[in-house]
C-alpha cells in the first residue's frame, strides 16, 4: 500500500535530477527511522542531498510534506479481481493486506502516523480518507459480489465485514508483531466467511 | 486497561506526599499530550510539581519510566467471569475491550507506544508481554471454556480466536477511529462465534 515510486533510495532520484521525488523518498526514510515527532526538515534535506531551501520552496512544513505522501497512497486504486467465490475473494484480500503490512516501511510508518493522528486532526482526517478510499472500497466490493452470488444475505453489514477482514491481520502483524502461523490466511478467510454467513 | 491509580491528576498525589505516584501520573499525562518521542523529563517534573532530580533519583531515563508503567498494566489480572455460553463470554470480553479502547488516555498512549515499539525493541518486548499477560490469557480462557461446554471443537486455534476477538474492535476504534455502530458488540460476538465454529 506504499507508492512504488517512493521505494527507490532518495539519492538515486537526485542523480536523475528529480528533487521533488528525492525529498519525498527522504521523508519516507526519515519517518521510518525516527518517526514523525522527531522528523526534521534539516535531516530530510540532508538525506535527499538537497538544500533546506529546496524543501521549503515545495512544502511549507513537515506536516504538509507528510500529508501529501499519505494522500498519494490514498489515491492509488488497488484492483481486486473477482476470484469467483467469497473464500477466494477473502483469501486474495487478506494476501494483499498481509503483504502490505509486512513491508518494512509500512510496519514502521503506519504505527507512527496513527500515533500522530491521535493528536493531530489533519493527519487523522487524511489517514481516514486513505483508509476509506482503499480498504473500505475493496471490503464493500467483496461483500457486494458475495451477495450477488447468493453466498451472503443481502443485509450483510460491510462495516462489520471490513473490521473482520482487516482487524485480525492488522492486530497480529502491526500490534502483536508476531509472524503469521502456517495456513493462517486460508483459515482466517474460512472463519470470516462462516462468521459473515452467521 | 490503564491502572486505576494513575487516573488521578499528578498534582493531587503530590499534595498527599506521594512523589513517585505524582511522577507516574505526570508521565501518563505527558505521553498523552506530546507522545513518547517528545516527552522530556523536564516537562514530567514540571507537571508533577517536583524537581528534575526527584525524577532521576527514581528512574535513570524516560525509557525506564515508561517501561515501568507499561509493566504495571501488564501485571494487572483482569477477571473474566464465566457467562455460561460462548456468545456470553465473547460479549463480555468485547465489552471490556471496547471500554478500555475508548478511554481517552488509552486512545492516545497505546498508538504512541506501538509506534515507538516499531523502533525500540525494549518497548516492543514489554508491550508484547503486557498483551500476552492480559488479552492473550483471557482469549485462551474463553476458548477453553467453550471447548469444555462442547460449543467449539477441541482443535480451535486460540491465536486465530484472539485475533478475531481483539482485531476488529481495535481496528475500528484505535485505527479507523470511528464510533461503534448500534448493536456492534453483540453482532460481532455472534459473527466470531459462528466463525470459530467454522
Among A74, A168, A172, most B C-beta atoms within 10 A, so best to mutate, is A168
Largest interatomic CA distance in chain A:
59
Residue length of chain B: 198
Residues A96 and A61 occupy one common structural domain: no
Q: Judge whether A192 lies within some domain.
A: yes
> pLDDT tens for residues B80-130?
899 999 999 999 999 988 988 887 777 777 888 888 887 788 888 888 887
* Chain A residue closest in CA terms to B39: A37
Residues B87 and B36 occupy one common structural domain: no
Q: What CATH number is given to the structural domain containing B150?
A: 1.10.357.10
Q: Judge whether A4 lies within some domain.
A: no
pTM of the predicted model as reported, rounded to 2 decimal places = 0.81
Residues A94 and A145 occupy one common structural domain: yes
Judging contacts by C-beta atoms under 8 Å, the chain B residues touching residue A194 are: 194-195, 197-198
Which of A29, A46, A69 marks a domain boundary? A69
Residues B164 and B82 occupy one common structural domain: yes
Q: What CATH number is given to the structural domain containing B59?
A: 1.10.10.60
List alpha helices for chain A, DSSP H.
Answer: 10-15, 19-34, 41-48, 52-58, 62-74, 86-102, 104-117, 121-131, 137-149, 158-170, 184-197
Would you tell me how many other CB atoms lie within 10 Å of the CB of residue A125? 12
Residues B86 and B145 occupy one common structural domain: yes
Q: How many domains does chain B have?
A: 2
Judging contacts by C-beta atoms under 8 Å, the chain B residues touching residue A124 are: 177
Where chain B has pLDDT below 70, the residues are 1-17, 73-78
| Closest CB from A119, A170, A190 relative to B167 | A170
pLDDT of residue A10: 62
Instruction: Compute the distance between CA of residue B10 and CA of residue B117 in angstroms, rounded to an integer.
Output: 26
Residue length of chain A: 198
Cα B182 from chain centre = 24
Residues B105 and B148 occupy one common structural domain: yes
Residues A96 and A187 occupy one common structural domain: yes
Q: Judge whether B191 lies within some domain.
A: yes
Largest interatomic CA distance in chain B:
59
Residues A98 and A172 occupy one common structural domain: yes
Residues A20 and A90 occupy one common structural domain: no
Residues A52 and A92 occupy one common structural domain: no
Q: Which range marks the domain in which residue A175 is found?
A: 75-197
Residues A52 and A87 occupy one common structural domain: no
pLDDT of residue B63: 85
Q: Judge whether B6 lies within some domain.
A: no
Q: Tell me what the pLDDT averaged over chain B comes to.
A: 85
Check CB contact under 8 Å for A194 and B195. Answer: yes
Those residues whose C-beta lies under 8 Å from the C-beta of residue B155, and which sit 6 or more positions away, are none
Residues A140 and A158 occupy one common structural domain: yes
Q: Judge whether A56 lies within some domain.
A: yes
For cell 526519515, the residue is A30
Among A39, A97, A110, A112, most B C-beta atoms within 10 A, so best to mutate, is A112
Written as tens digits, the pLDDT of chain A (198 aa) is 444 444 456 666 666 668 998 998 899 889 888 888 789 999 999 999 999 999 999 999 888 888 888 777 666 666 789 999 999 999 999 998 898 888 777 777 788 888 888 778 888 888 888 777 777 788 889 999 999 999 999 989 989 999 999 999 999 998 888 889 889 999 999 999 999 998
Q: What DSSP designation does A8 have?
A: S
Q: Residue B125 is placed in which grid cell?
A: 518486548
Q: Judge whether A105 lies within some domain.
A: yes
Q: Residue B49 is placed in which grid cell?
A: 510539581
Amino acid at each position: 500500500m506504499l507508492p512504488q515510486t517512493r521505494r527507490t533510495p532518495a539519492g538515486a532520484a537526485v542523480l536523475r535530477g528529480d528533487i521533488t521525488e528525492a525529498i519525498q523518498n527522504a521523508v519516507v526514510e526519515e519517518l521510518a527511522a525516527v518517526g514523525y515527532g522527531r522528523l526534521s526538515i534539516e535531516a530530510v534535506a540532508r538525506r535527499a542531498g538537497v538544500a533546506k531551501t529546496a524543501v521549503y520552496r515545495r512544502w511549507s512544513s513537515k506536516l504538509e510534506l507528510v500529508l501529501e505522501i499519505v494522500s498519494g497512497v490514498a489515491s492509488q486504486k488497488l484492483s481486486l479481481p473477482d476470484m469467483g467465490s467469497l473464500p477466494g475473494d477473502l483469501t486474495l484480500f487478506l494476501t494483499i493486506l498481509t503483504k502490505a503490512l509486512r513491508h518494512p516501511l509500512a510496519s514502521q510508518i503506519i504505527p507512527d502516523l496513527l500515533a500522530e493522528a491521535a493528536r493531530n486532526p489533519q493527519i487523522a482526517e487524511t489517514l481516514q480518507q486513505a483508509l476509506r478510499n482503499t480498504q473500505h472500497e475493496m471490503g464493500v466490493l467483496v461483500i457486494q459480489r458475495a451477495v450477488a452470488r447468493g453466498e451472503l444475505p443481502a443485509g450483510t453489514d460491510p462495516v462489520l465485514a471490513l473490521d473482520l477482514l482487516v482487524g485480525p491481520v492488522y492486530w497480529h502483524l502491526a500490534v502483536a508483531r508476531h509472524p503469521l502461523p502456517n495456513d493462517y490466511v486460508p483459515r482466517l478467510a474460512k472463519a470470516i466467511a462462516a462468521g459473515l454467513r452467521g
